[in-house]
Amino acid sequence: MKNKIVENIKTIVYALIIALIIRSFLFQPFYIPSSSMEPNLLIGDRLFVSKYSYGYSRHSLPFSPKIYNKRIFAKTPKRGDVVVFKTPVDNRTDYIKRLIGIPGDTIQIIDKILYLNDVQIKRKEIENSTNVNCGAEVVNTNFFEETLPSKKKYIAAYRNDGTMSNTDKFIVPENHYFFMGDNRDCSKDSRYLTSVGYVNFNNLVGKAQLIFFSNDIKKGSFLKFWKWHQSLRFERFFKKIL
């Protein structure tokens, strides 16, 4: 009996170690709690983030222990990547946004148009008068397909009443990155210098790769299995993140 208990404890410990290794060095699941990345990521999406994409920092480990202040096996992020990072304000809160500016870039929005290094990025309107969520509010937006110099394409939503129609010019410092939400007028991101601002390379946690599960919480929680036919977004299961 005693040997069986010991073996069970060993099995649990080994399983925890394996889970910790996978979570710290390979993939970590994340949940989307806000509408800042609509229409590409929705509230209720659950996704896998690759921890190896940009190398490893202390933020790769649970609780971000202060044991090392650099990156190991560092790899350069690309414009257009959807990235999970720790906010510079507290080095604890996870945000997920799209990488728009790399070190040395200038970024500005003028009349609802994104400029990168003083050049208007390519974009085309794909849908107008489309409603998206903004917290508890539903707002009317236009959808544009934007193409960054890296050839990365994605959909961005701009609110029709233009709450963020124009911004200051941002200059990305060395070893830092500039992030924006795809839901342009409903995202606290690098445009808000006092709350997010420029993000240090060491604060990057990983690259969002795949939606593995999605549930519309407005139509029922996952525990209410009798509402699965309404709440589960099967079309989003195992969807690659662009």
Q: What is the distance between the alpha carbons of residues 118 and 141, in angstroms, rounded to a whole number?
A: 25
Which DSSP category does 139 fall into?
E
Q: Is 227 a catalytic residue?
A: no
Alpha carbons within 13 angstroms on the beta-carbon side of residue 153 total 8
Task: Return the beta strands (E) in the chain as ranges.
Answer: 27-31, 45-50, 82-86, 94-101, 106-110, 113-116, 119-120, 122-134, 137-147, 153-159, 170-171, 176-180, 199-200, 204-214, 239-240
Based on the residue annotation, tell me whether 36 is a catalytic residue of this protein. yes
Q: Which of 51, 60, 86, 97 is catalytic?
A: 97
Residue 29 CA to residue 24 CA, distance in Å, equals 11
d(CA 205, CA 202): 8
Rounded to whole angstroms, how far apart are CA atoms 179 and 81?
10
Whole-angstrom distance, CA of residue 65 vs CA of residue 210: 27
Query: Catalytic: which of 34, 36, 57, 187?
Result: 36
How far apart CA 60 and CA 206 sit, in angstroms, is 8
231 CB-side CA count, 13 A: 17
Longest dimension (CA), the chain: 73
Active site amino acids = 36, 97
